[in-house]
C-alpha cells in the first residue's frame, strides 16, 4: 500500500527533474520555477486519450495556460511547449505515472521536445532527404508554425526508424550534443 500523496509526489519529482535549469536557460527570471509548478499540478487524468485531435487541442490549451502563468513578458511559446513536452515524455517513461494515467495511449501523439540541439539534428537529417526545414529561431522565438514543421518532419523520420517521434529527443540529443 502506498501513501495517498505518492503519485502527486512522483509527478512533482518528474516535473522538477524533466525541467532542469539547462532546459529553459535564458528564458527569463522565474520561468523555470513557474513551469515546474505548473507541470507538478497538471491533471494527467484529464489528458484526452480518445484521438489525436482532442489531444492536440488539450496540448495547445495547456501551452496557453502555462504561458499565462509565466512571470515574463514576450510569451515564449517555444519554452512553454518544450517544458510540457519534456514533462510528458518523462511522465511516459515513469512507470508509476504511465500506469496510473495510461500514458501509453498517447505515446504516438507526443511531440519531440524541441531545442537547438534537436533542431540541428533534424536539419542534418532533413538535408539528406532534400527536405527543407525553417531556420531555427531559438527557443524564445519559436512559434507554432515553425514548431509544426519540425514536428511533421520528426513524425516522418520517426516512422522510418519505427519509433514514436517523442523518442527522437534521445537519439538527436546524444548525436548532436
DSSP 137: -
| Domain range annotation of the chain | 6-109, 116-176
DSSP 50: S
**What rounded mean pLDDT belongs to the chain?**
95
* pTM listed for this prediction: 0.95
User: What is the pLDDT averaged over residues 93-101?
Assistant: 98
- pLDDT for the residue numbered 72: 87
How far CA 47 is from CA of 8, 52, 58, 102, 136, in Å, comes to 16, 11, 7, 10, 29
Amino acid at each position: 500500500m502506498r501513501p495517498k500523496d505518492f503519485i502527486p509526489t512522483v509527478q512533482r519529482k518528474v516535473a522538477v527533474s524533466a525541467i532542469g535549469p539547462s532546459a529553459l536557460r535564458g528564458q527569463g527570471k522565474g520561468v523555470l520555477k513557474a513551469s515546474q509548478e505548473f507541470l507538478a499540478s497538471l491533471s494527467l487524468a484529464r489528458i484526452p486519450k480518445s484521438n489525436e485531435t482532442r489531444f492536440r487541442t488539450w496540448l495547445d490549451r495547456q501551452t496557453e495556460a502555462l504561458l499565462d502563468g509565466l512571470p515574463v513578458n514576450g510569451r515564449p511559446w517555444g519554452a512553454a511547449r518544450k517544458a510540457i513536452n519534456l514533462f510528458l515524455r518523462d511522465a511516459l517513461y515513469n512507470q508509476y505515472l504511465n500506469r496510473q494515467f495510461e500514458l501509453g495511449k498517447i505515446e504516438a501523439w507526443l511531440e519531440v521536445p524541441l531545442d537547438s540541439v534537436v533542431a540541428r539534428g533534424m536539419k542534418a537529417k532533413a538535408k539528406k532527404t532534400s527536405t527543407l526545414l525553417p531556420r531555427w529561431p531559438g527557443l524564445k522565438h519559436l512559434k507554432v508554425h515553425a514548431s509544426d514543421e519540425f514536428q511533421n518532419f520528426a513524425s516522418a523520420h520517426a516512422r522510418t526508424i519505427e519509433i514514436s517521434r517523442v523518442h527522437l529527443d534521445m537519439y538527436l540529443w546524444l548525436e548532436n550534443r
